[in-house]
Amino acid sequence: MENTEKINWEPEYSIGNLNIDNDHRIIVDAYNDIVDILEQNGSRLKLVEVLSVMTDYVQRHFKREELYMKAMNYPRFEEHKKMHRDYIVNVAMLNNEMMTTWKHLDIATQLIHFLKGWWIDHILKKDTEYEKFKESLSEDVNY
């Protein structure tokens, strides 16, 4: 049976910037690793470990993306940055819960729902939006 929680990369997930798309693919792969661990009824430690690998990468990606938006004077920069901040807080809270409850598999399930919804929406709508803005500019901005 097809695993419905996994994210299979779709052509529409490409926002049209190779470097950013590449980051997003790495993030999606890391996410799929978490789903694998959960499917195998993974230990709390294993889950926390793969989540932290994903979060490390995500933090670096957010930083790069924020510099990029800033460089193009993106009008919705602050709003976008706040979404990144909220994401990090949310994941940190779920991570904390996962560490401290005996129901860590339930929390991990909540976590993957959150991550899947957030990333698909964020890539398709929010990130696509700044890239469209960038394309409207006359000068080039590098990510």
Q: What tokens does 17 get?
A: 């910037």
Total residues contacting Fe ion (rule CB under 5 A)?
2
The minimum distance between CB 62 and Fe ion, in angstroms, equals: 7
DSSP state of 10: -
Residue given tokens 């990606």 in the structure block: 61
In the region spanning residues 49 to 108, those forming contacts with Fe ion, defined by CB under 5 A, are: 65
Which residue lies nearer to Fe ion by CB, 6 or 61?
61
Question: 119: which 2 tokens?
Answer: 């990333």
Smallest gap from Cβ 1 to Fe ion, in A, equals 32
Burial class of 91 by CB neighbour count within 10 A (0 to 12, 13 to 18, 19+): buried
Q: Which stretch binds Fe ion (CB under 5 A): 35-43, 45-53, 67-75, 119-127?
A: 119-127
Q: Which residues bind Fe ion (CB under 5 A)?
A: 65, 127
